[in-house]
Structure 1
């Protein structure tokens, strides 16, 4: 695994050129800014795993690692995330919010979701919705599809937050019928450098607001922004919980700890801090 600082001359898909690393560094690394280094590797197993390993021996906050291709990308519940080389954005960042109470660090994947969605709205012209806790949804041919996901993991004295996003994936390349991409959702731009700059600038903005508010999601506006963009709220869902427990109800709120609050058929309100959420069509029909 070696960083690449110059365009490759051997890519096979001319519609998927490699990232221009010097241009990305010029646009994102600045004195006093959050991002302190940015490397792009041609291929790796998982950018999250790579940064987590480096964090064990000390890593500067604001380190960004991008892969043109991931061969062992991971999502929640140890699910795999793979896609053709240069067809998406696969990157991880190292954040070290040491002065923020650890109990509030659970907001970081939700914060990243808000940042990605707002960055893509500006740069790609695509309405990206958030499925609690960490999926990125787009609309393809009138259907809700998963185009990306976020995974946050404790590492060293901080957190590694990884994002995988399908950008130019074609219909024949989709890993599942429920998957989508920005291109299939009608993005006005699928230039990965433009998108990555927009997403990382948005992440810097939201992370700064959250830190200034001492990690208070309500005071920073994060809780309101997440709820506004969350496709899970206001609909019937099935929550598949640890211990083979299943709960069905209406998703009614995101609480101050970032938990999804369900209103159950028994009239109870139950906050969920973990679980696999299935959106339902009503009358028990599964959607995603």
Structure 2
């Protein structure tokens, strides 16, 4: 394993994340839906979940409902100094994943220029900066599959990555933070601002099962923890970070879009 960059020290022996999903109580709202207008209308709705009639699409709510929820653990693999960029793949092999994450406040009004930062494992379950923790010998620059982007005028952060792999003890997931008031730096990173939310994004098993059967995911010999077996995901659907996944093409290898609206309390 190559030497990690000079980031905050974290234990290299911890190959799984803490079982306790709560790191604090903060008013955080998470809801499905493509627009803030939909969110506002749906704030008083209580429709039962339905399924979108699109091939390889995960179950989603018919109407978005702003829901107070707990934050998820940051986990042991966070690194300070993430690059601000819309494409974090760095040529890592895997099935394409295009994230569209909308950030709204407690009034379901979109928040432009919020920095949405994500990090996740590659197809073999390795995190940049910690390669070897899942038993594979790869090159490690400390930056692959890490980064963030500012939300646009519609409050949407568009990030291109790959479908994550898995490691021992955890289901497939993506870590996410939301910051406001950051300053972009000349080295392509950011500084300052206020961290409003730390959470995780999750994937429906109907899609993950198909992804896991395709190379390079199929070469990951670690036993995969399913969504229902995971110690962090609590079964709360979109309110707990479950993405809406929609196929980009006719085959699994074509990839998916992943959408979710993250609502944060700015007070």
Higher alpha-carbon Rg: 1
* Fold shared per TM-score above 0.5: no
With normalisation by structure 2, the TM-score equals 0.28
With normalisation by structure 1, the TM-score equals 0.26
- Larger strand proportion, structure 1 or 2? 1
- Larger helix proportion, structure 1 or 2? 1
